[in-house]
Amino acid sequence: MAQDASRQNSERQNSERQNSERQNSGSQVAPFEAPTVAVFLASCDRDISQCEFTLRLALLDKLNSRDATSICEKDAHSEKPVIAWLKAHPETHAMATEDGIYAAYKSLYPCP
Protein backbone atom coordinates (compact mmCIF):
# COMPACT_ATOMS: atom_id res chain seq x y z
CA MET A 1 0.00 0.00 0.00
CA ALA A 2 2.76 2.45 0.87
CA GLN A 3 4.49 1.68 -2.43
CA ASP A 4 1.26 2.32 -4.36
CA ALA A 5 0.75 5.66 -2.64
CA SER A 6 4.38 6.61 -3.27
CA ARG A 7 4.14 5.63 -6.93
CA GLN A 8 0.89 7.60 -7.38
CA ASN A 9 2.46 10.64 -5.73
CA SER A 10 5.50 10.36 -8.01
CA GLU A 11 3.31 10.04 -11.11
CA ARG A 12 1.26 13.09 -10.04
CA GLN A 13 4.43 15.14 -9.50
CA ASN A 14 5.78 14.11 -12.91
CA SER A 15 2.50 15.07 -14.54
CA GLU A 16 2.47 18.46 -12.80
CA ARG A 17 6.10 19.10 -13.81
CA GLN A 18 5.35 18.23 -17.46
CA ASN A 19 2.31 20.54 -17.46
CA SER A 20 4.40 23.34 -16.00
CA GLU A 21 7.14 22.79 -18.60
CA ARG A 22 4.57 22.89 -21.41
CA GLN A 23 3.11 26.15 -20.13
CA ASN A 24 6.52 27.74 -19.68
CA SER A 25 7.56 26.80 -23.19
CA GLY A 26 4.38 28.22 -24.66
CA SER A 27 3.28 24.88 -26.12
CA GLN A 28 -0.27 25.19 -24.79
CA VAL A 29 -0.62 28.95 -24.51
CA ALA A 30 -2.49 31.05 -27.06
CA PRO A 31 -0.66 34.16 -28.28
CA PHE A 32 -3.00 36.50 -26.38
CA GLU A 33 -2.27 34.59 -23.15
CA ALA A 34 1.52 34.63 -23.47
CA PRO A 35 3.17 36.28 -20.45
CA THR A 36 6.51 36.90 -22.17
CA VAL A 37 7.81 37.55 -25.66
CA ALA A 38 9.49 34.12 -25.74
CA VAL A 39 6.21 32.32 -25.03
CA PHE A 40 4.42 34.62 -27.48
CA LEU A 41 6.84 33.75 -30.29
CA ALA A 42 6.49 30.03 -29.60
CA SER A 43 2.70 30.32 -29.65
CA CYS A 44 2.79 32.27 -32.93
CA ASP A 45 4.27 29.26 -34.67
CA ARG A 46 1.01 27.42 -33.94
CA ASP A 47 -1.59 30.16 -34.42
CA ILE A 48 -0.61 33.00 -36.74
CA SER A 49 -4.08 34.58 -36.88
CA GLN A 50 -4.24 34.96 -33.08
CA CYS A 51 -0.63 36.15 -33.18
CA GLU A 52 -1.51 38.94 -35.61
CA PHE A 53 -4.53 39.88 -33.51
CA THR A 54 -2.38 40.03 -30.38
CA LEU A 55 0.17 42.27 -32.12
CA ARG A 56 -2.52 44.76 -33.10
CA LEU A 57 -4.20 44.67 -29.69
CA ALA A 58 -0.91 45.12 -27.81
CA LEU A 59 0.00 48.08 -30.00
CA LEU A 60 -3.38 49.74 -29.47
CA ASP A 61 -3.19 49.17 -25.71
CA LYS A 62 0.25 50.76 -25.53
CA LEU A 63 -0.67 53.68 -27.81
CA ASN A 64 -3.65 54.43 -25.58
CA SER A 65 -1.49 54.70 -22.49
CA ARG A 66 -0.62 58.04 -20.96
CA ASP A 67 3.11 58.03 -21.78
CA ALA A 68 2.85 56.53 -25.27
CA THR A 69 5.45 57.18 -27.93
CA SER A 70 3.94 57.66 -31.36
CA ILE A 71 4.81 55.30 -34.16
CA CYS A 72 4.54 55.95 -37.89
CA GLU A 73 3.51 52.64 -39.36
CA LYS A 74 3.34 52.75 -43.13
CA ASP A 75 2.62 49.07 -43.80
CA ALA A 76 -0.87 47.64 -43.63
CA HIS A 77 0.66 44.27 -42.78
CA SER A 78 3.46 44.93 -40.33
CA GLU A 79 3.09 41.67 -38.41
CA LYS A 80 5.88 39.73 -40.14
CA PRO A 81 8.53 42.43 -39.68
CA VAL A 82 7.57 42.79 -36.01
CA ILE A 83 7.81 39.05 -35.38
CA ALA A 84 11.13 38.91 -37.23
CA TRP A 85 12.44 41.83 -35.16
CA LEU A 86 11.40 40.12 -31.91
CA LYS A 87 13.09 36.88 -32.98
CA ALA A 88 16.27 38.80 -33.83
CA HIS A 89 16.32 40.57 -30.44
CA PRO A 90 16.64 37.94 -27.70
CA GLU A 91 16.98 40.70 -25.11
CA THR A 92 13.20 41.16 -25.46
CA HIS A 93 12.34 37.50 -24.86
CA ALA A 94 12.00 37.87 -21.08
CA MET A 95 9.92 41.04 -21.39
CA ALA A 96 6.18 41.17 -20.87
CA THR A 97 4.56 40.46 -24.23
CA GLU A 98 2.99 43.89 -24.75
CA ASP A 99 6.20 45.67 -23.77
CA GLY A 100 8.27 43.64 -26.22
CA ILE A 101 5.80 44.11 -29.04
CA TYR A 102 5.68 47.85 -28.42
CA ALA A 103 9.49 48.03 -28.37
CA ALA A 104 9.54 46.32 -31.77
CA TYR A 105 7.01 48.72 -33.28
CA LYS A 106 8.87 51.77 -31.86
CA SER A 107 12.14 50.50 -33.30
CA LEU A 108 10.74 49.56 -36.71
CA TYR A 109 8.34 52.48 -37.23
CA PRO A 110 9.71 55.62 -35.55
CA CYS A 111 8.19 58.95 -36.48
CA PRO A 112 10.48 61.52 -38.12
Residue-wise burial string across 57-83, b where 16 or more C-beta atoms lie within 10 A, e elsewhere = ebbeebeeeeeeeebeeeeeebbeebb
pLDDT (0 to 100) of residue 83:
96
pLDDT at residue 14, as a whole number? 47
| Residue 47: per-residue pLDDT | 86
Q: How far apart are CA 24 and CA 80, in angstroms?
A: 24
Q: State the DSSP code for 91.
A: G
- Host domain of residue 97: 26-108
Report the domain count for the chain: 1
Residue 84 lies in a domain: yes
Task: Assess if residue 55 is contained within a domain.
Answer: yes
State the pLDDT at residue 112. Answer: 87
Residue 39 lies in a domain: yes
Provide the residue-wise pLDDT of the chain in tens; the chain has 112 residues: 555 555 555 555 544 444 444 444 445 899 999 999 999 999 998 888 899 999 999 999 999 998 899 999 887 788 999 999 999 999 999 999 999 999 999 999 999 8
- Residue 37's contacts (CB-CB under 8 Å, 6 or more residues apart) are 86, 92, 93, 94, 95, 96, 97, 100, 101
